[in-house]
Amino acid sequence: MYKTRSFSGPSHQKLSNFLETQSIDDNKNVNDYYQIIHNLFLLELMKQTICVSCKVMWNGDMSISKREGANFVGIGHQGLTKLCAILNLPTPIDEDHFSETIEYLLPIFESHKSLSMQNAIEETCKKSNGCKITVSGDGTWQTRGFSSLHGIVDILSTVPTAKVLDIERLSKKCSICTGLLSIKNSNPNKYMEIKNTHQCEINHFASSASMEVDGIYRLFSRSERLYNVQYTHYIGDGDAKVFPKLSNDPPYKDISIVKIEDVNH
């Protein structure tokens, strides 16, 4: 025959000691108990929480950081799936939800990017005592050999803590245009509809080698419109083709850009 005795496990003892120090009768505290909550109920409860920063209600997504990281390092859904498998981590969500999340995140990235560069411009103007500032520029390509379909250029400040002031992406290929070729003959009406309404990624039609020159020239040309500043001094390496472009077709009226040689480029 079993003998009935009160339970006095470690957790119960800790709680009892805590309540004794607080002079609280644990039998009268109706909220002091263990409870098992179903995961679905817990998630539904958490979905009612509101972000203190953006004031938007949480949508229940717990792996958004994965997609954010994938976007930053330049890999897609398949690349993220392989990475998670190698690291023995849970696989990411389905590809459709992945794409929806990226579309949701991109405007947020753009907003933070613009704010960061605007702050960098203001800091540079303050340290330069005016809106005529000295900058450096450089470009890079996705692949080597001047046959890359994608490239990017940037303009940086030359203050002690250099920061990116503006960037430009150049592309000779559009993933949507390429994908549309599969329905060009089978569904020509749908092909023309998407082709005429989508936001094409192609914005460079010359050689890949000229991406750096054209990109930096674009950044100079829009500095007044975007930031109300002029890049009057440019730091570049000796064999660069950027400065001749800036000299032969000045982006600013009645202003000649001065080149500062970069001997350690």
Q: Give the gyration radius of the chain's Cα atoms.
A: 29
Within a domain: 12: no
Query: Do 251 and 235 sit in the same domain of this protein?
Result: yes
Q: Give per-residue pLDDT as tens, 76-129.
A: 888 888 888 888 877 777 778 788 888 888 888 899 999 999 999 999 999 989
Which tops the pLDDT comparison, 4 or 256? 256
Q: Which of 102, 128, 154 is the last residue of a domain?
A: 128
Task: Give the distance from CA 7 to its chain's centroid.
Answer: 54
Q: What was the pLDDT predicted at 161?
A: 86
- Decide: pTM greater than 0.85: no
Within a domain: 24: no
Side-chain half-sphere of 127: how many Cα atoms within 13 Å?
Answer: 14
Q: Give per-residue pLDDT as tens, 180-207.
A: 999 999 999 999 999 999 989 999 999 9
Q: Are 132 and 158 in contact (CB under 8 A)?
A: no
- How would residue 132 be classed by pLDDT, with cut points 50, 70 and 90? very high
Q: Are 192 and 177 in contact (CB under 8 A)?
A: no
Which tops the pLDDT comparison, 40 or 185? 185
Neighbours of 221 (CB within 10 A): 14
Side-chain half-sphere of 60: how many Cα atoms within 13 Å?
Answer: 11
In whole angstroms, what is the distance from residue 234 CA to residue 228 CA? 17
Within a domain: 43: no
Q: What was the pLDDT predicted at 126?
A: 93
Within a domain: 141: yes
**Containing structural domain, residue 138:** 131-261
Q: What was the pLDDT predicted at 88?
A: 85
Structure-block tokens of residue 241: 């083709």
pLDDT at 141 over 70: yes
Q: What was the pLDDT predicted at 70?
A: 79
Residue 203 sits in a domain whose CATH number is: 3.30.70
H-helix or E-strand containing 123?
Answer: helix 95-128
Query: Do 218 and 137 sit in the same domain of this protein?
Result: yes
Query: Do 211 and 98 sit in the same domain of this protein?
Result: no
Q: What was the pLDDT predicted at 21?
A: 61
- How would residue 68 be classed by pLDDT, with cut points 50, 70 and 90? confident
- How would residue 260 be classed by pLDDT, with cut points 50, 70 and 90? confident
